[in-house]
Amino acid sequence: MITRLVPHPILSATLTLVWLGLVNKVTLGNLLLGAMLGLAIPMLTAAYWPNRPRLRKPMVAARYIGMVLWDIVIANVEVAMIILFKRRDEVHSQWIVIPLDLTSPEAITWLAGTITLTPGTVSATLSADASSILVHCLHTDDPGDVRDTIKARYEAPLKEIFP
């Protein structure tokens, strides 16, 4: 009964918080309206998430988000340094192929988004069976090292979060 009424508790909480943020004022009326939206939208869209994976370890997920936010700051400085101080012909861009151990579409989406936001890499496409990801690296002389870093730093925690 509860799972039918609230099929997606995290989405409900997120929607309520986003609504409160949008109106930018916490009052009882806004809270109720936000909660109504938070309950109605997941119920109406539940059919579109058939095999939704459960978020197993919220603490690992929170630490992952914090780590990625910090890496984004580092990434910005690194890319800015490359843009400002490297000569055009010194920028060695490479394609990197990363074989994936993740299987759920949600986990791969997280990984692809993380790769695009962090140090000098943009995720470009997946292989047709979603078992490898193609990454474009702005500047590297050691593609193997970049691949190992992404697998250890981002894919390993994602495997814990989405088992």
In the DSSP assignment, the letter for residue 133 is E
Q: In terms of Cα–Cα distance, which of 40, 39, 115, 136 is closest to 71?
A: 115
Look up residue 89 and give its two tokens.
């012909």
Binding another protein by CB under 8 A: which of 32, 36, 62, 97?
Answer: 97
Q: Does residue 79 bind another protein (CB under 8 A)?
A: yes
Binding another protein by CB under 8 A: which of 4, 29, 84, 144?
Answer: 84
Q: In terms of Cα–Cα distance, which of 138, 127, 129 is closest to 97?
A: 127
Q: Are 108 and 126 in contact (CB under 8 A)?
A: yes
- Return d(Cα 62, Cα 135) in angstroms, integer: 25
Q: Of the two residues 27 and 127, which places its CB atom closer to another protein in the complex? A: 127
Binding another protein by CB under 8 A: which of 37, 46, 120, 140?
Answer: 120
Where on the chain is the footprint of another protein (CB under 8 A)? 18, 20-22, 24, 72-73, 75-77, 79-80, 83-84, 88, 91, 93, 95-97, 99, 112-113, 116-117, 120, 122-132, 134, 136, 138
